[in-house]
Amino acid sequence: KEYTVAILGATGAVGNCMIQQLEQSSIPVKELHLLASARSAGKTLTFRGQEVEVEETTPDSFEGVDLVLSSAGGSTSKKFLPEAVKRGAVCVDNTSAYRMDPDVPLVVPEVNPEALDNHHGIIANPNCSTIQMVVALEPIRQAFGLKQVIVSTYQAASGAGQSALNEFYQQAQDYLAGKKMTAEILPTKGDKRHYPLAFNLLPQIDVLEDSGYSHEEWKMIHETKKIMVGDMDAAEPKVTATCVRVPVGISHGESVYFEVEDQSATADQIKELLQNAPGVVLQDDLANQVYPQPLTAEGKRDVFVGRVRPDYENKGAFNMWIVADNLLKGAAWNAVQNAECLVERGLI
Ligand code: A2P
C-alpha cells in the first residue's frame, strides 16, 4: 500500500525535519501535502527532488489523507486533528495537546511500541527532553529497576521553534557587534517578559506554574511515567526536573542522576546495557576525552550517552550525560519512526 501523507506545520523547524525524515523513511508515500498557516500558502518546499506547494490548513485539507505528521502548536492540533481523524486519517502529533489524554498513546518506539496498538486515530509524540531520557533509561530500568530520576536539562533554542532559533542567532551577532540585543520570543512566546538567550541561561521553558515548576518540568515528570509504566501519576519511578534553555542552536543535553532497585548494579554493567540498547550510542571514553556534545549529535537520529559513573556517596545511584538532536529524535524522527511502526503493525 502507498500512503497519502500530510505534514501540518511543514514550514516550521520540526516540520522541515519531518519532510527530510519522511524522505529517508521506509514509508511508501503516494502523495504529500504540506500544510501551514495562510502566511505560508503558495511557498514551495522540496520533497524527493520535487517542488511541493504549501497550502493553508483547513478541515478539508485532510480529505483522502492516510497519515498526518503534525507540529504546528497545541491549539492548531486541537483544532485540526479531530477533523483529520473524522476523515479517516491517523495522526502522529508532536505537540503537547493530547499527550496526557488517557485514550492517546504516548510513544517512543524503543520503549513502548505496543502502546500504538490501542490508538484511536491520534498518537502523541513526547516532549523532546523526555524522549532522549527514556531511550537511555529504559534498558537500565528493565535490567535493574528504576526508583528515582533527578534531571537537569540544557536545552537548545530550536526547541522553541524556528523564530526562536532565528532570534537567538540575531542576538549573538548583535552582542558581538556591540549592539543591544532584543528579545521578543524567548523564554516562551506567550509570556509577559522576554530575555536574551545569547551569552545567557534561562531557567524557564514553557510557562511557569503556581507549583513553582515550569510546564516543561511537569511534562518530563508525567510523560516519563506514562511512557515507562503506562500511568502518568505512577509512584515510581520518582522523577524531578529542572529545565534550562542554553545558548545552543540544536541538540539538548541532560545531566541525569538515577537510583536503581538492584544495589549490585555497576557502572560497567550499565555501559554494557547502553552499548547494546536500541537507538543509543555510547560515547564514553575518558582516556580519549570522548563524550556526547550538541555539535556532534546534530543531524543524527541516535541518543548519545556518556560520563556514566557511580555516585560514590549513594549505593545503587549513578550519574550520566545524554545528548540528542531535539529536532530529530526529540521530534521529527520519533514521529516518523512512530509512523513506520504503525505501518509495520498494520495500524494505518
Ligand atoms: P507558518 O510558517 O505559516 O506560520 P515553529 O514550531 O518552527 O514555530 O513552526 C510552527 C509551524 O506551525 C509553522 O509551520 C507554522 O506555519 C505552523 N502554524 C502556526 N499556526 C498555524 C495555524 N493556525 N494553522 C496552520 N499552521 C500553523
Q: Is 61 known to sit in a ligand binding site?
A: no
CATH number for position 23: 3.40.50.720
d(C-alpha 226, C-alpha 130), whole Å: 11
- Res 124: pLDDT: 98
| 95 and 208 both lie in a single domain | no
The residue ranges of DSSP E strands in the chain, in sequence order, are 3-8, 29-36, 44-47, 50-56, 67-70, 90-93, 122-124, 146-155, 238-245, 252-260, 280-282, 303-310, 317-324
Per-residue pLDDT tens digits for 98-124: 999 999 999 999 999 999 999 999 999
Q: Is 245 known to sit in a ligand binding site?
A: yes
CA distances from 175 to 44, 180, 199 (A): 34, 7, 8
CATH number for position 170: 3.30.360.10
| 159 and 294 both lie in a single domain | yes
Which band of pLDDT confidence, cut at 50, 70 and 90, is reported for residue 65? very high
Looking at the CA of residue 13, tell me the nearest atom of ligand 1.
Answer: 7
Q: Is 125 known to sit in a ligand binding site?
A: no
ipTM exceeding 0.90, yes/no? yes
| 119 and 136 both lie in a single domain | no
3-class state of residue 53 by DSSP: strand
| 206 and 268 both lie in a single domain | yes
Q: Is 193 known to sit in a ligand binding site?
A: no
Within 6 Å (CB) of ligand 1, which residues are found?
9-15, 36-37, 39-40, 57, 72-73, 76, 161-163
Please give the order of strands across the beta sheet that includes 303-310. 238-245, 146-155, 252-260, 317-324, 303-310, 280-282
| 97 and 239 both lie in a single domain | no
| 134 and 235 both lie in a single domain | yes
Q: How far is the CA of 27 from the centre of ligand 1 (A)?
A: 24
Task: Write down the mean pLDDT value for the chain.
Answer: 98
The residue whose CB lies within 8 Å of the most ligand 1 atoms, and thus the one to mutate among 14, 19, 33, 37, is: 37
Protein residue closest via CA to atom 24 of ligand 1: 37
Sequence-ordered list of residues with C-beta below 8 angstroms from that of 3, at least 6 positions apart, any chain: 27, 28, 29, 30, 66, 67, 343, 348
- Res 210: pLDDT: 98
Which band of pLDDT confidence, cut at 50, 70 and 90, is reported for residue 51? very high
Protein residue closest via CA to atom 9 of ligand 1: 12
- Res 86: pLDDT: 98
* Contact yes or no for 131/99 (Cβ under 8 A): no
- Nearest CA to 339 among 77, 23, 103, 101? 23
| 107 and 250 both lie in a single domain | no
| 151 and 103 both lie in a single domain | no
d(C-alpha 258, C-alpha 228), whole Å: 15
* Contact yes or no for 215/206 (Cβ under 8 A): yes
| 13 and 113 both lie in a single domain | yes
Which band of pLDDT confidence, cut at 50, 70 and 90, is reported for residue 40? very high
The residue whose CB lies within 8 Å of the most ligand 1 atoms, and thus the one to mutate among 56, 76, 167, is: 76
Segment 269-277 shows an average pLDDT of 98
Q: Alpha helices, DSSP H only, in 186-258?
A: 215-229
Q: Is 40 known to sit in a ligand binding site?
A: yes
Protein residue closest via CA to atom 4 of ligand 1: 37
CA distances from 15 to 70, 106, 147 (A): 7, 19, 36
**Domains in the chain, number:** 2
Grid cell 556518556 is found at 306
- Res 254: pLDDT: 99
Q: How far is the CA of 12 from the centre of ligand 1 (A)?
A: 6
110: which 3 cell numbers? 524503543
Q: How far is the CA of 9 from the centre of ligand 1 (A)?
A: 5
Q: Domain limits at 111?
A: 3-125+331-344
144: which 3 cell numbers? 535493574
Looking at the CA of residue 15, tell me the nearest atom of ligand 1.
Answer: 14
Which band of pLDDT confidence, cut at 50, 70 and 90, is reported for residue 340? very high
Per-residue pLDDT tens digits for 17-35: 999 999 999 999 999 999 9
Which band of pLDDT confidence, cut at 50, 70 and 90, is reported for residue 345? very high
Which band of pLDDT confidence, cut at 50, 70 and 90, is reported for residue 302? very high
| 58 and 99 both lie in a single domain | yes
| 167 and 243 both lie in a single domain | yes
| 144 and 291 both lie in a single domain | yes
Protein residue closest via CA to atom 18 of ligand 1: 72
128 is catalytic: yes
From 128, 194, 215, 341, active-site residue: 128
Per-residue pLDDT tens digits for 160-219: 999 999 999 999 999 999 999 999 999 999 899 999 999 999 999 999 999 999 999 999
Looking at the CA of residue 8, tell me the nearest atom of ligand 1.
Answer: 26
